[in-house]
Each structure stands twice: as C-alpha cells, then as structure tokens.
Structure 1
C-alpha cells in the first residue's frame, strides 16, 4: 500500500497568536505541533522580518534539548535568510550553533538545522 502525503504550508497567523502559541510550547512540549505550524507559517509568509527573526531566536535559544523546535528554528532562519536576504549576526551565530549541535548529536537538535545552515550560506553568500 502506497501512502500519499500532502504538503501544506501553514499560513502566517496574527502576531499575538504566534507569540502566545510559541510561549506556551516553550513551557509545555505538548504544544510543539501547534508551535511548529505557527513558526513555519511566520517564516514562510509573514512580511515582518524583525518579528520572524525574533521568534526564531526565542525558540532556538529557549527550547529544551531534544525538542523538534530547535531544528525547526534553524530551518526557519534559513527561510528567513532566503526571503529577506539578511539575518542579524546573532541569528547567523545561532544557525551555526544549532547545526553544530545537530552534527554532534541528532537527538539534541534534528537535521533540519543543517538544512537551515545550507540556506543561510547560500542566500547570504557565506562560506
């Protein structure tokens, strides 16, 4: 039996809803699925660069080891670099740190952080 998967890009949500969802997930991992959709929707569709980067930084620095939100924060910073053409020095450093953690221990940070680093390097012309 072949399984057909459907790809879905979540929409950008209102900023207050994103902030509330992410804060809740940072305190209770049972909300990580909801938070993942909120973060991805913002990274792919929100036009407020500062808001998107802020929440990627919050998630990438505050989520607990092993949380899928860590790798996702790195990936979303890669999306942000692609969409806006820049990241703060703090965000670039976080992408590198998350990717290094993913290489050292995929149980700590998943491999999406490595994809985020590839995007940052490609779109910000870093090597």
Structure 2
C-alpha cells in the first residue's frame, strides 16, 4: 500500500486573523508554527500589497534572533515583490538586511532570507 502526501499552499486569511496570529507569535515563540502558515498564505494570496509589506516588515524587525519567522519574512518579501512587481524602500532595506544577517550568522536568520534574492 502506498501513502501519498499532498501539499497545498496556505490560504490568505482575514486581516484581523493575520494581525492576531502574528502579534501572538511575536509575543510567544510557541505560536511561530501557526504564524509561518499565515505568512506564506498572505504572501501568496492576499491582494493588499501595503498590508502584506507592512506585516513582513513588522515580523522582520520584531521577531527574536533565531526565530524561523525572520528567514521566512525575507523569503515572503521575495514572493511579494514577484506578485506586485515592487517593494517599498523599508521592505527592500529589510530584505537586504535579513540576507546580510543570514550570511553573518545563520543561527540568527535562516537561509530562506537569502533565497528571496
């Protein structure tokens, strides 16, 4: 008997749920797993570019060193740039900063931050 695994991209959630989930994860690292799915779903499916960018900047500047959300925020900024064709100055500076931090110390920010380049 074969077991088949399937993959599906997370869906975009309401902005209220996104804010609540991300704020909780920024206060309590045990909520980072749920927040990761929210970040990916938002990057791939939310049509409000300003909201999306704002929350990646929030996560990328407020998450604790070593949090997997840092590298994921950098990667999701790459998806955001691809989808909307641009990044604002603050988001671009953050993406570049996260990539530098990855190269300096991969235990600070994981390699996904470099993937967005």
Same fold, TM exceeding 0.5? Answer: yes
Q: Secondary structure at the match of 2:108?
A: coil
Q: Partner residue of 1:75?
A: 75
Structure 2 distance, partners of 1:57, 1:42, is 13
RMSD between superposed Cα atoms in Å: 1.4
Q: Secondary structure at the match of 1:7?
A: coil
Q: Partner residue of 1:63?
A: 63
Q: Partner residue of 1:30?
A: 30
Per-residue CA deviations over 1:90-117 (Å, capped at 9, x if unaligned) read: 111000000000011111000000011x
Q: Partner residue of 2:41?
A: 41
After the TM superposition, which residues 1-127 of structure 1 pair with which residues of structure 2 at under 5 Å, given as runs? 6-116=6-116, 118=117
Structure 2 distance, partners of 1:47, 1:90, is 19
Per-residue CA deviations over 1:47-105 (Å, capped at 9, x if unaligned) read: 00001000000000000000000000000100000000011011110000000000111
TM-score by length of 1: 0.87
TM-score by length of 2: 0.95
Q: Unaligned stretches of 5+ in structure 2?
A: none
Structure 2 distance, partners of 1:72, 1:6, is 21
Q: Unaligned stretches of 5+ in structure 1?
A: 119-127
